């Protein structure tokens, strides 16, 4: 009985797969070809180099959706896919972080874009629309780490792109590898300089009663401010960009949707630490990009220097405060966005 039951179950499973196979055979590719690619380095911040490749695809109108992905990120759909991460000469590129940005100023009637500025990107057209339309877009790669090579023209990786009319059907992909290679930077010294003034901030003394709220509460009493300035020399950035700060707190405490930087050791916690306010007075969250203080460098051919003011306040970390002195450190990373 068990043998017959297993045979019937297997037969049912095979029958249930037939409609899916028939569906796959009826799918079409979504584009007729890729355009050439032009590479530009958008400078770097010392530990991240942003490389932008500007390219295009021409839609053929056979499918309503055309998704674009780096094939290193889609091994499930492309059996010849390369590694997800490539590391060479001290630098790493993670293809799961590749972002796409639409550069087409207009679309045919019934066509549009989805996911611009993200890792999930596609052009969508109603049936019968978009045939022969050339869509322009940017591919953003992040080269992370510090280059340790002094040999010029060392290839880091070969950019490739794959389009899918249906992400679940392998037969609908088209891959293009005819792009210029991304070269290994000879130097990853920052192209823009950063200044923190003052770099060592000492808040004014306060009384425990001036911080008498619940854990996570803060006070304006004794607060101090500092300026975070970024300067980019002429032609340091090949493309205009925003530089976004990210704050990393020591032993962070998250309470009431804010982050507090505490003393390095729990035994030294006297019940209070420090929080940071962005220029718009919103609370800075640990390890989260502060877009409220965007440094917009829109004329990269000119010397630019932009300064933003941040505020540091006392914040409560324990129910009971013990009078004394507390200190912490906060690391600020400047990255692209």
Q: Do residues 39 and 170 both lie within one domain? A: yes
Among 183, 203, 230, give the residue marking a domain's end: 183
pLDDT at 324 over 90: yes
User: How far is the CA of 224 from the CAs of 208, 227, 266, 310, in angstroms?
Assistant: 18, 11, 25, 9
76 within a domain of the structure (yes/no): yes
Domain assignment of residue 330, given as a range: 193-336
Complete DSSP assignment for 73-131: G-TTT-TT---SEEEETTEEEEGGG-EEEE--S---TTEEEESTTBSSEEEEE-TT--T
Give the model's pLDDT for residue 330. Answer: 94
Among 183, 210, 241, give the residue marking a domain's end: 183
Local confidence band at 20 (pLDDT 50, 70, 90 cut-offs): very low
Q: Do residues 43 and 130 both lie within one domain? A: yes
48 within a domain of the structure (yes/no): yes
d(CA 4, CA 108): 58
Give the model's pLDDT for residue 239. Answer: 77
Q: Do residues 31 and 151 both lie within one domain? A: yes
Local confidence band at 308 (pLDDT 50, 70, 90 cut-offs): very high
Given phi > 0 = left and psi -120 to 50 = alpha, else beta, which region is 251? left
1 within a domain of the structure (yes/no): no
Among 183, 206, 234, give the residue marking a domain's end: 183
Local confidence band at 337 (pLDDT 50, 70, 90 cut-offs): low
pLDDT at 146 over 50: yes
For 31-40, the pLDDT digits (tens) are 999 999 998 8
For 115-128, the pLDDT digits (tens) are 998 888 999 998 87
60 within a domain of the structure (yes/no): yes
How many other CB atoms sit within 10 Å of the CB of residue 12?
A: 10
pLDDT at 167 over 80: no
d(CA 91, CA 47): 9
For 81-108, the pLDDT digits (tens) are 556 888 999 999 998 889 999 999 999 9
Q: What's the structural domain count of the chain?
A: 2
pLDDT at 246 over 80: yes
For 147-157, the pLDDT digits (tens) are 888 888 899 99
Given phi > 0 = left and psi -120 to 50 = alpha, else beta, which region is 153? left
Local confidence band at 186 (pLDDT 50, 70, 90 cut-offs): confident
Q: Do residues 168 and 200 both lie within one domain? A: no
Q: And the tokens for 202?
A: 């000492």
Q: Do residues 177 and 229 both lie within one domain? A: no
Q: Do residues 235 and 122 both lie within one domain? A: no
| CATH code: domain of residue 242 | 2.60.40.1090
Given phi > 0 = left and psi -120 to 50 = alpha, else beta, which region is 8? alpha
Q: Do residues 60 and 128 both lie within one domain? A: yes
Q: How many CA atoms lie within 13 A of 196 on its CB side?
A: 13
219 within a domain of the structure (yes/no): yes
8 within a domain of the structure (yes/no): no
Q: Do residues 42 and 175 both lie within one domain? A: yes
For 1-14, the pLDDT digits (tens) are 333 333 333 333 33
Give the model's pLDDT for residue 302. Answer: 84
Which of 42-46, 139-143, 323-327 comes out lowest in average pLDDT? 42-46
d(CA 321, CA 325): 11
Give the model's pLDDT for residue 78. Answer: 44
2 within a domain of the structure (yes/no): no
22 within a domain of the structure (yes/no): no
- What are residue 14's phi and psi, to 5 degrees? -65, -40
Contact 232, 304 (CB under 8 A): yes
Local confidence band at 72 (pLDDT 50, 70, 90 cut-offs): low
């Amino acid at each position: 009985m068990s043998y017959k039951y297993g045979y019937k179950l297997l037969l049912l499973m095979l029958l249930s797969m037939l409609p899916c196979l028939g569906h796959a055979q009826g799918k079409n590719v979504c584009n007729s070809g890729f355009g050439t690619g032009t590479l530009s380095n958008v400078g770097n911040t010392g530990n991240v180099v942003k490389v932008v490749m500007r390219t295009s695809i021409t839609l053929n109108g056979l499918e309503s959706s055309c998704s674009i992905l780096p094939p290193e990120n889609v091994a499930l759909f492309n059996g010849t896919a390369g590694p997800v991460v490539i590391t060479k000469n001290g630098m790493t590129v993670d293809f799961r972080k590749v972002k796409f940005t639409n550069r087409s100023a207009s679309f045919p009637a019934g066509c549009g874009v989805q996911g611009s500025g993200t890792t999930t990107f596609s052009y969508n057209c109603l049936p019968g629309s978009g045939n022969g339309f050339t869509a322009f877009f940017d591919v953003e790669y992040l080269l992370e780490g510090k280059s340790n090579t002094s040999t010029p023209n060392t290839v880091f990786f070969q950019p490739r792109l794959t389009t899918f009319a249906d992400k679940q059907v392998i037969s609908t992909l088209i891959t293009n590898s005819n792009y210029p290679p991304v070269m290994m930077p000879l130097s990853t010294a920052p192209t823009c300089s950063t200044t923190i003034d003052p770099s060592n901030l000492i808040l004014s003394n306060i009384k425990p009663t001036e911080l008498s709220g619940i854990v996570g509460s803060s006070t304006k009493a004794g607060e101090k401010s500092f300026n975070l300035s970024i300067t980019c020399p002429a032609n340091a950035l090949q493309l205009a960009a925003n530089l976004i700060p990210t704050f990393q707190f020591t032993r962070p405490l998250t309470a009431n949707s804010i982050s507090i930087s505490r003393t390095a050791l729990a035994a030294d916690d006297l019940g209070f630490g420090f929080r940071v306010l962005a220029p718009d007075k919103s609370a800075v969250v640990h390890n989260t990009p502060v877009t409220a203080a965007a440094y917009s460098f829109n004329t990269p051919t000119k010397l630019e220097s932009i300064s933003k003011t941040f505020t540091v306040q006392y914040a409560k970390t324990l129910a009971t405060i013990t009078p004394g002195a507390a200190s912490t450190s906060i690391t600020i990373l400047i990255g692209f966005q």
